[in-house]
Amino acid sequence: MSLSHPLVCLGHSLLDISAAVSVEMFEKYGVRAGNAILAEEKHMPIFKELVDNYPCDFIAGGASQNTCRAAQWLSRTENFTGFIGVVGEDEYSQHLRDSVKAAGVNAYYQVEPTVPTGTCACLIHEKERSLIANLAAAQMLKLDYLRSIWHVIENCSVIYAEGYMFSSAVDCVVESAKYACENGKIFTMNVSAQFIIEFFREPMMRAWPYCEYVFGNEDETQKFGEVFGFGSDVVEAAKQMSLMPTNTPRPKKIVVTRGKDTVLIACEGKVTEYNVPLIPSEKVLDLNGAGDSFVGGFLCELIKGGSYERCVAAGNYLASEVIQLSGCSFPAVPSFN
């Protein structure tokens, strides 16, 4: 009998290779703190250099996979989450499988034997980090494979997709989103990055009418407003995003995180703000994965029937836990009530 996972996430399956490095490492590869980029040819040696010269943590990464692990950890429920992505057939794929299994996530990996598993170099220096992603196999999800495991989609209640999928597997996202909308499920997505909004607007709009919850941070929301003609004010952009045409049976909700500032939820042109607990700066270790973890907490509580206030509180709790640890990782046991 097929397993039922309340939450199923689609995304780029990456192995995070995380290490604390000197500022010279940033300079050597021409990257800036707080930045996230795709690896170019000049960046390719960094993955081996990290493994050979630094004590590294190998952690299942990629935006949706982070969200999946976060929700699974908070849920304390076996088989709560399923993840759909692509890996190669190499040493890194085994690290990835081990990490996901340890997190309790059920992974449904399409395997590409001739392509390396996607990796992300996470350079950490004085609480700041820079991410360099080599997508490799991660960007190769095929619609035929998704259809072969369609029971995973049929047996869930919420589907979540990262915006990066609009650059590589838009048909998979759209088919999942349309099915969810037409069959009493909830499809949710994250805009993920400013470049997705700017350069993959048309693919994203194919899924937009079927999406009930859209997540993004304030910079992404501002970019959305600028690209779609809503202006650069974040609150106004969120309002207008919530009023865009939709096929969903319930109104569209836009959820905007703003760091230490209030979280916004826009619905039918109205915005509600939710406070964010302050974490003392001396406790903040690494901001990597905070946004992904917020979404994991939010969706976990949404599935359990929580109010928006409760969903935001769960998201804030998970984000606050993650930023006090290295990489997108969690304590042994959640303390969220």
Decide if 159 contacts 190 (C-beta within 8 A).
no
What band does 286 get if pLDDT is binned at 50, 70 and 90? Answer: low
Mean pLDDT of 258-276: 96
Separation CA 118–CA 138 (nearest Å): 5
Q: Report the DSSP beta bridge partners of residue 158.
A: 7, 186
* pLDDT computed for residue 192 by the predictor: 92
Closest CA to 262 of 253, 271, 274, 272: 274
Closest CA to 12 of 157, 168, 122: 168
Decide if 230 contacts 335 (C-beta within 8 A).
no
Q: Is the pLDDT of residue 176 over 60?
A: yes
Active site residue 292: yes
Query: Which three-class secondary structure state does DSSP give residue 331?
Result: coil
Separation CA 334–CA 329 (nearest Å): 12
Q: Is the pLDDT of residue 89 over 70?
A: yes
Share of the chain above pLDDT 70, in %: 98
* pLDDT computed for residue 288 by the predictor: 73
Tokens linked to 225: 């407003």
Separation CA 196–CA 309 (nearest Å): 29
| Domains of the chain with CATH codes | 7-13+61-117+135-322 (3.40.1190.20)
What is the 8-class DSSP label of residue 58?
E
Query: Which three-class secondary structure state does DSSP give residue 233?
Result: coil
Mean pLDDT of 207-223: 97
- Exactly one of 16, 144, 286, 292 is catalytic; name it: 292
Decide if 26 contacts 122 (C-beta within 8 A).
no
Separation CA 77–CA 301 (nearest Å): 12
Q: Count the residues in the chain.
A: 337
Q: Which residue has the tokens 């901001």?
A: 287
Angle at alpha carbon of residue 34, lines to 26 and 281, rounded to 5°: 110
Decide if 92 contacts 115 (C-beta within 8 A).
no
Residues contacting 252, CB < 8 A, separation 6+: 211, 212, 213, 214, 241, 242, 244, 246, 267
Torsion, CA 163, CA 166, CA 170, CA 174, rounded to 10: 40
* pLDDT computed for residue 281 by the predictor: 83
Decide if 88 contacts 116 (C-beta within 8 A).
yes
Global confidence as pTM: 0.93
